[in-house]
Amino acid sequence: MRRPLTAVVAVAVALTASAAGAQPRAVGGRGAAATPVVAADQATRAVHVLRSDVRSWDAGRGTGVLWSWSADGRSELADLEPGSSWSNPSEAKLRELDGHRYLLATASGGLAAVVGYPGREVYWAAHTGPGNAHSIDLLPDGNVAVAASTGGFVRVYAASTGSRATRHAEVPLRGAHGVHWDPRTRLLWALGGRELVALRVDGPADDPGVTVVHRSTLPTRDGHDLAPVLGTKGRLWVTTGTAVYQYATGRHRFVDYPSSSRISAPGVKSVGDDPATGRILLARPEPGHSCVWCTSVLTFHRPDGTKRLVRGAMYKARWWTPRRD
């Protein structure tokens, strides 16, 4: 397996509101730092890591922004034409591999990237085509899974073989919107428009294979977000066009969960729970926003509240934690 690139201190781009400092630790106890939030912001064409202990953020002034990254202006990505391939950033996650931390990001224009945090070195990046790359995850062997909605596919790229590796295995999945590697089941879970599927990834890392091993029909149509329930082992968050669900991977069924009547809502683009506090974070389109699928306001539950990104057009937002089980 290709080893991750040595971290380097990159010069901050204009969109970086502050130096790439250390992430606040999410630990219990009085005075503990709050777990940050990461958001894919289509207004600035950037991913921002945001403090969760402030009322609002302003990327232009750097208020509440801990770290930012954009494919725009990155010379090492020029061959992937980010001017078009990085249009409408759609996904952002934190993952760990071999002791290194990485931002995982996709954009509707087709760019998918795994970028070192905080140094911004590119571990892997590719133009996945015009299929609306919508979600991404990092596998234990260093390969990368990508789901594309209009392309209707889930791919596993042999990213462990090089930073521009394009060899991949592919399975069709109509309306593919979410992908998540689950270390408990050792399966790659993927969410389509009408079903949740479990995929077995096999073969050598340099020539992976993917096989569907289980399919579950969604309770309602238009599957959108897929994420681990970090407060309850063996469960996944699943959102559709009309509701927010939890799915038990061991039982292969959708199950009830606490406060579902308050959390579940139509059109939720992303959902997740903070492993340090149990607080729930949701991103859903904001009525009247100039971008019909975006929001400048994130919603929180337990306790309830909202926070605003000034002039923001966020699509998905997640807790900035590498945990996935």
Identify which has the larger pLDDT, 14 or 63. 63
- pLDDT for position 7: 35
Decide: 169 and 209 in contact? Cβ < 8 Å: yes
φ and ψ at 256, to 5 degrees?
Answer: -70, 155
- pLDDT for position 26: 38
- pLDDT for position 126: 98
Token pair of 162, please? 């090089």
- Give 272-283 pLDDT, tens digit per residue: 999 999 999 999
Question: Which residues on neighbouring strands pair with residue 5, listed in sequence order?
Answer: none
- pLDDT for position 325: 87
Say whether pLDDT at 11 is over 60. no
| Averaged pLDDT of the chain | 92
Say whether pLDDT at 32 is over 60. no
Residue 9 placed within a domain: no
- pLDDT for position 5: 40
For residues 201 and 203, what is the distance between their CA atoms, to the nearest angstrom?
Answer: 7
Percent of the chain predicted with pLDDT > 90 = 89
3-17, 71-85, 311-325: least confident range: 3-17
Residue 78 placed within a domain: yes
Domain with 310, as residue range(s), is 37-319
**Could you say which DSSP state residue 128 is in?**
-
Q: How many domains does the chain have?
A: 1
For residues 117 and 134, what is the distance between their CA atoms, to the nearest angstrom?
Answer: 21
Token pair of 142, please? 């260093």
- Give 256-301 pLDDT, tens digit per residue: 999 999 999 999 999 999 999 999 999 999 999 999 999 999 999 9
pLDDT-derived band at 25, boundaries 50, 70, 90: very low
Say whether pLDDT at 151 is over 90. yes
Residue 257 placed within a domain: yes
* Residues whose CB falls within 8 Å of the CB of residue 283, separated by 6 or more in sequence, listed in order: 39, 268, 269, 270, 271, 295, 298, 299, 314, 315, 316, 317
Mean pLDDT of 244-259: 97
Calculate the dihedral angle through the C-alpha atoms of 114, 116, 118, 121, rounding to the nearest 10 degrees. Answer: -110
Say whether pLDDT at 38 is over 70. yes
pLDDT-derived band at 243, boundaries 50, 70, 90: very high
pLDDT-derived band at 97, boundaries 50, 70, 90: very high
- pLDDT for position 29: 37
Identify which has the larger pLDDT, 9 or 219. 219
Mean pLDDT of 21-38: 57
- Give 183-234 pLDDT, tens digit per residue: 999 999 999 999 999 999 999 999 999 999 999 999 999 999 999 999 999 9
What sign for the dihedral angle of Cα 197, 217, 149, 151?
positive
Residue 324 placed within a domain: no
Question: Which residues on neighbouring strands pair with residue 127, listed in sequence order?
Answer: 111
Say whether pLDDT at 140 is over 70. yes
pLDDT-derived band at 61, boundaries 50, 70, 90: very high
- pLDDT for position 17: 38
CATH of the domain at 170: 2.130.10.10
pLDDT-derived band at 30, boundaries 50, 70, 90: very low
Residue 30 placed within a domain: no
Say whether pLDDT at 14 is over 80. no
Residue 300's CB: how many other CB atoms inside 10 A? 16
How many alpha carbons fall within 13 Å on the CB side of residue 157?
Answer: 23
pLDDT-derived band at 4, boundaries 50, 70, 90: very low
Residue 28 placed within a domain: no
Decide: 156 and 181 in contact? Cβ < 8 Å: no
Residue 31 placed within a domain: no
Residue 5 placed within a domain: no
